[in-house]
Amino acid sequence: MEVVDIRPLLAPVVSLMCGFLVFFSGERAWWRRFWSIAAAIVNLGVVYSMLPGVLDGVIYKFALIEFTPGIGLAFRVDALGMFFALVSSSLWLITTVYAIGYMESEHERARFFGFFALCVSTTIGIAFAENLLTLFLFYEMLTICTYPLVVHEETPEAMKAGRKYLVYTLVGGVFVLLGTAVTFQWAGTLTLSQTGILDMSAGRQGLTLLFVAFVIGFGVKAAIMPLHGWLPSAMVAPAPVSALLHAVAVVKAGAFGILRITFCVFGVELLQDLGIAIWLAAVASFTIVVASVIALTQNNFKRRLAYSTISQLSYIVLGAALLTPLAALGAIVHIANQAFQKITMFFVAGAIQRTTGRTNIDELAGIGYEMPYTMGAFTVAALGFIGIPLTAGFITKWYLSLGAMETGHWIFVVVLITSSVLNAAYWLPVIYMAFFKVSPGVRPHVKEAHWTLLVPTIVCAIYVILLGSLAEVPGMPLSLARTAVEFFFGS
């Protein structure tokens, strides 16, 4: 059932307006905070109000402008888009609170919060895109809006990271645009559909190349190896940026793009015929393992997080590439699970840096005594990554493994298990350092982070547990993911 509704447009517009209002507020801090938080709440409300409908299988549509017949800006909310949007806008609210505390003493705050809001706006645009062109449009805007955040520090290092980021993502954008144009030529339409818009008539070789182009294009943002180079460098950005953008918005936009391409442009059947998805799965598996191994060697907290992100994102890609309903379910639900887990960790890293000034893992000895709540949240997230039952990560791994078994490729199950082990190998030592290793001669005293930093962290950590233990409760992300999977696989 399709319903024309203004809300799919409203959601990105609210954040867009917020961005401009923040720019105009300039250095008036009160207004800036007011607009940011108000917009985040309104935005969440708008997105959330569509949830019941989407769960019932309603698709909200809104066509804004047509450039030429058949090509235009249009929005459509289906379960998958809803899922992504919901994750982004709820995390935006939490991150805004965190950022207000974190950025207290920073320069250029109007620019920071303005572009922050613009990024969210474009992310929701990506989620609600009705066609490939709209998707591309917001995908590119996201690149541009993130750049000022990456170079926020204005140090030479930041500038260099920014340049690297732009080169990677814009080249990716070119591939997406190229793919979009070719798709239009072959399919005559760009509207994302339930079962894919391409068919075999375009030829096996051409379709394979097209798929590769799309994977490269979206894979840059999803940081599939070897296209991941920008992500660790971009960690020079302030912690809230790393948290929201490099754990949620930007990288998930890439992963989301791959999901869209797989299910809505090519369609499951066509990809199965082509037999190329298995190669994508192989690349994803490679990324999962190798990124984890690299993460082991990183001493800087945020860089280790970055490599962990790279590894985790490929779960989503892997799930998409396996082309079975259960794997897809795992992939989609991992959008939320990974987001909450990773954002908790980034919050923790930021809080530690702000409160104690430490950025390296070997400096964290005894931090568990100084900041017990913060590190408690960290522990929860770490356990989630390892995949301990009752945490969010377990759900993902469970469905992904089931999906892998469905295909009969046991090797992917092995990959998932290896990844768990590696995750354990690089997170458990941190926990050990924090709680069990006190530097001699230092008498630890509790010195928690400011409440604006602490509250969001703990909220996220609690949600990680909820995601894992109450996954089957109606209204939790899993039910939405299930709707999405049913939509694409037509159970």
Partner 1 sequence: MGGGQWPVVLIITPLIGAALTPILARRRPQIAGYWALFVFSIVTLAAGVLMYRVSTQGPFSYYMGGWRPPLGIELRFDEFSASIGVICLIGWLSLMFSLAYAKHALPERRIPYYFALVLLCLGGMNGFAVTGDIFNLFVFLEILSLSGYALVAITGERIAELAAFKYLVMGAISSLSILLAVGFMYALTGTLNMTDLAMRLRDVEPFPVAVAVGALTLGFSVKAALLPLHIWLPDAHSIAPSPVSAILSGLVVKIGVLGMLRMYQILYKAQIFDLSALNTTLMWLGAISIVLGALFAMVQEDIKMMLAYSTISNIGYIFMGLGLASKYGIIGASVHIFNHALIKATLFLGAGALIHQTGYRNLEDLRGVGKAMPITSAAIAIGAISIVGIPPTAGFLCKWYIALGAIEAGRLFFAVTLLFGALFIFVYYIRMLNAFYFMPPAHPEILDVGEAPVTMLIPIVVLAMLCLLMGIFGRIPLSFIEPAVTNMLAPIGG
Q: Which of 41, 42, 181, 293 binds partner 1 (CB under 8 A)?
A: 181
Q: Is 3 in the site for partner 1 (CB under 8 A)?
A: no
Residues 6+ apart with CB under 8 A from 469: 390
3-state secondary structure of 189: coil
Q: Which of 166, 271, 291, 349 binds partner 1 (CB under 8 A)?
A: 166
Across 55-143, where does the E strand assignment appear? 59-68, 71-77
Q: Which of 8, 114, 148, 456 binds partner 1 (CB under 8 A)?
A: 148
Nearest approach, Cβ of residue 136 and partner 1 (Å) = 7
Rounded Cα distance, 81 and 273, in Å: 26
**First and final C-alpha spacing in the chain:** 17
Nearest approach, Cβ of residue 154 and partner 1 (Å) = 5
Closest CA to 47 of 2, 20, 79, 1: 79
Instruction: With contacts defined by CB under 8 A, name the span among 40-48, 176-184, 238-246, 251-259 that binds partner 1.
Output: 176-184
Compute the Cα dihedral for 289, 293, 296, 301 and give only its sign: negative
φ, ψ dihedrals at 411, nearest 5°: -55, -35
Q: Which of 66, 104, 106, 472 binds partner 1 (CB under 8 A)?
A: 66
Closest CA to 182 of 204, 215, 201, 206: 206
Q: Which of 58, 63, 170, 431 binds partner 1 (CB under 8 A)?
A: 170
Rounded Cα distance, 123 and 137, in Å: 11
Residues 6+ apart with CB under 8 A from 97: 37, 452, 455, 456
Q: Which of 13, 144, 402, 405 binds partner 1 (CB under 8 A)?
A: 144
Q: What is the β-pairing status of strands 59-68 and 2-4? A: parallel
Residues 6+ apart with CB under 8 A from 117: 15, 16, 18, 19, 22, 36, 39
Q: Is 161 in the site for partner 1 (CB under 8 A)?
A: no
Q: Is 383 in the site for partner 1 (CB under 8 A)?
A: no
Instruction: With contacts defined by CB under 8 A, name the span among 151-159, 195-203, 310-318, 401-409 that binds partner 1.
Output: 151-159
Q: Is 151 in the site for partner 1 (CB under 8 A)?
A: yes
185 vs 491, beta carbon nearer partner 1:
185
Instruction: With contacts defined by CB under 8 A, name the span among 47-55, 172-180, 392-400, 444-452 that binds partner 1.
Output: 172-180
Q: Which of 4, 68, 105, 440 binds partner 1 (CB under 8 A)?
A: 68
71 vs 449, beta carbon nearer partner 1:
71
Q: Which of 3, 6, 38, 171 binds partner 1 (CB under 8 A)?
A: 171
- Are 198 and 185 contacting, i.e. CB atoms less than 8 angstroms apart? no
3-state secondary structure of 151: coil
120 vs 133, beta carbon nearer partner 1:
133
State the maximum Cα–Cα separation within the chain, in Å, rounded to a whole number.
Answer: 74
Place of tokens 């490269």: 216
220 vs 323, beta carbon nearer partner 1:
220
Closest CA to 434 of 381, 392, 386: 381
Instruction: Examine residue 226 and say whether the peptide bond preceding it is cis (omega within 30 degrees of 0).
Output: yes
- Are 359 and 367 contacting, i.e. CB atoms less than 8 angstroms apart? no
Instruction: With contacts defined by CB under 8 A, name the span among 157-165, 218-226, 296-304, 394-402 that binds partner 1.
Output: 157-165
Rounded Cα distance, 288 and 79, in Å: 27
137 vs 317, beta carbon nearer partner 1:
137
Nearest approach, Cβ of residue 360 and partner 1 (Å) = 27
Q: How crowded is residue 56: how many other Cβ atoms within 10 Å of its Cβ? A: 9
Rounded Cα distance, 97 and 381, in Å: 20
Number of residues forming the site for partner 1 (CB under 8 A): 28
- Among positions 183-212, residues that touch partner 1 (CB under 8 A) are 184-185
Q: Which of 11, 99, 182, 349 binds partner 1 (CB under 8 A)?
A: 182
176 vs 283, beta carbon nearer partner 1:
176
Instruction: With contacts defined by CB under 8 A, name the span among 162-170, 333-341, 389-397, 456-464 that binds partner 1.
Output: 162-170
Q: Is 217 in the site for partner 1 (CB under 8 A)?
A: no
Instruction: With contacts defined by CB under 8 A, name the span among 62-70, 223-231, 350-358, 462-470 that binds partner 1.
Output: 62-70
Closest CA to 310 of 320, 318, 300, 322: 318
Instruction: With contacts defined by CB under 8 A, name the span among 14-22, 182-190, 272-280, 401-409 that binds partner 1.
Output: 182-190
Q: Is 154 in the site for partner 1 (CB under 8 A)?
A: yes
189 vs 300, beta carbon nearer partner 1:
189
Helices (H), 128-249: 132-150, 156-187, 204-222, 230-233, 239-244
63 vs 181, beta carbon nearer partner 1:
181
User: The tokens of 290 are what?
Assistant: 């190798």
- Among positions 100-139, residues that touch partner 1 (CB under 8 A) are 133, 136-137
Q: Which of 1, 4, 65, 446 binds partner 1 (CB under 8 A)?
A: 65
3-state secondary structure of 26: coil
2 vs 154, beta carbon nearer partner 1:
154
Residues that bind partner 1 (CB under 8 A): 65-68, 73, 133, 136-137, 140-141, 143-144, 148, 151, 154, 159, 162-163, 166, 170-171, 174, 177-178, 181-182, 184-185
